[in-house]
Structure 1
Amino acid sequence: MTLSTYTPGLYASFKHQTYTHRQLVPVPSKGLLRIERGAVRTVTWSDQGTAITLGYWGVGDVIGQPLSGVEPYQIECKTHVEISYIPANLCDRSLDEIFKHIQQTQALFYILRTESLRDRLLQLLVWLGQKFGREVAQGVLIDLRLTHQELSEAIGITRITVTRLMGRLEEEGFIDRTRPQYIVLTSRL
């Protein structure tokens, strides 16, 4: 898991809001949001109405439309989430988190440019495991409930292709999906 350089004292006085799984977080037009607990994904849509995942974000990450510049911009809770608001005039205190946001965005862009669809999916799963994973007996459990549709939206391929590739990765021994919507990266990786 990635550790944040977040300093709690800087944000202690900020108001925290809580949200439930699948709930949408209101997006402020100015300032940023910092994830204190839980995980979210940010999403936009193509002109044809296709959902495009912009990223998955967890504890210590800062997010917001000003970092993206993309319209529309939506924040969907993947777990129960606690978020604090960082006013625009105090965003300079979050430079480490902003740099981390840029690095994560670049890592996802790199994954998206992988030509082999199988490798693209596997790289996304490894990235999610590093960010949201926890050790279990079989390997690393990605501690997010992810649908094949959400995975397809994250890497720009069809849901059917994700389903087929997930089966292939399981046959090859890279993942274990004995529990629906939970993915374990096996120690084979």
Structure 2
Amino acid sequence: MSLELRTPNEAKDRRLEPRPELSDQVVLPGGQALFLSESIEGLDEGSHFLDALKPEELESLNSHGRHLAFSAGDAIFTQGDRHDGIFIIRSGQVRVFYTAPSGREITLAYWTAGHFIGGPEMAGGGAHIWSGEALSDCEILFLPASVLKRLVVGIPGFALCLVQGLASKGRCYSAMAQMLGTRSVIERLAQFLTNLGELHGVRDGHAVIINAKVTHDQIAAMVGSTRQWVTMMMKRFQKEGLITVTPRHIRIERPNKLMSMVSKGGT
């Protein structure tokens, strides 16, 4: 089925305010989701929530949904807007984030192909409680609330898939809440760098080179801090020989020492 490409005016209406770092947004190799967690285990389990459907059931899902295309920087949905359904990522990467009244943002997760976004509402009504922004060109299957209700009745297996998908999302945000509530910000930073190294790192002797482009602003939004604090701590980590930061990558020089900061409660 061909993609439904929005007109320039429609795209403009649903685009977030221009961000100075848009061209430097996190790009995750390998299509792996990412959120704040004590380990990398289970980060991508939500991408398989439709695996139990039969081929004909997947075809029905595709035929009833709306196929949309978003460009990098487009708002897929915006905090405060009316909730009309859910979005299944077919390709590309999406950042989901909450914006406080002060304007400060916290990144909830980076989602990739296979994941659905736009919850927790499933049947429509209410308003989105966070926003979703395309980090790269994305293909999205949008399932309006009215369609979701018909599919749940017509395909009982799909209802179970939604329950499993919501359970995965619940575990994700529970892991994030646990990190924010029980770990110091320096522990969260050390854990985040460790997770990036495990997910996207390449071994170079005892060191690990992180092959993911990430800025201090993006790290701050993920660990719940400020860019100034992250910059200060990254300089401290460099001075202590834990990491080396270059314009191209972050190199973890002493992975075991960095991980010990997490297990021992930071320093």
Asked if 1:83 is matched to 2:83, the reply is no
| Residues 45 and 72 in structure 1, CA contact (< 8 A), matched pair in contact too | no
When the two chains are superposed, the root-mean-square deviation of aligned CA atoms in Å is 3.2
CA distance in 2: counterparts of 1:112 and 1:66, whole angstroms: 20
2:90 to 36, 56, 81: 36
2:173 is matched with 105
TM-score normalised by structure 1 residue count:
0.75
Letter in 1 for 2:85: G
Q: Distance in 1 between matches of 2:74 and 2:182?
A: 31
CA distance in 2, matches of 1:134, 1:126: 10
Q: Which residue of 1 aligns with 2:26?
A: none
**1:72–1:177 CA distance, 2 compared to 1 (3 A):** same
Matched, 1:50 2:104: yes
Distance 1:185 1:39, change over 3 A: farther
Counterpart mapping for 1:118-129 below 5 A: 118-127=186-195
Q: Identify the range of structure 1 (157-166 vs 35-44) with the bigger mean alpha-carbon deviation.
A: 35-44
1:141 to 185, 206, 210: 210
Tell me the SS of whatever aligns to 1:59: coil
The letter for the 2-side match of 1:17 is: L
Farther off after superposition, 27-36 or 169-178: 169-178
Select which of 73, 76, 85 maps to 1:22.
73
Cα separation, 2, equivalents of 1:129 and 1:86: 35
Please say if residues 61 and 101 of structure 1, whose CA atoms lie closer than 8 Å, have aligned partners that are also in contact: no
The residue aligned with 2:62 is 12
Is the alpha carbon distance of 1:171 and 1:102 closer, same or farther for their aligned partners in structure 2, counting shifts above 3 Å? farther
Shift in CA distance, 188/50, structure 1 to aligned 2, threshold 3 Å: closer
Tell me the TM-score normalised to structure 2 length: 0.56
Provide the secondary structure at the position in 1 that maps to 2:255. coil
Q: CA deviation at 1:95?
A: 2.4
The alignment covers a number of residue pairs equal to 185
Q: Distance in 1 between matches of 2:195 and 2:165?
A: 18
Per the alignment, residue 188 of structure 1 pairs with 255
Distance 2:115 2:251 in 1: 23
- Distance verdict in 2 for CA 1:142–1:111, change over 3 Å: farther
Tell me the equivalent position of 2:265: none
Unaligned runs of 5+ in 1: none
**Post-superposition CA distance 1:57-115 (Å, at most 9, x none):** 22222111545987553211223322211333247342222211111111111221244
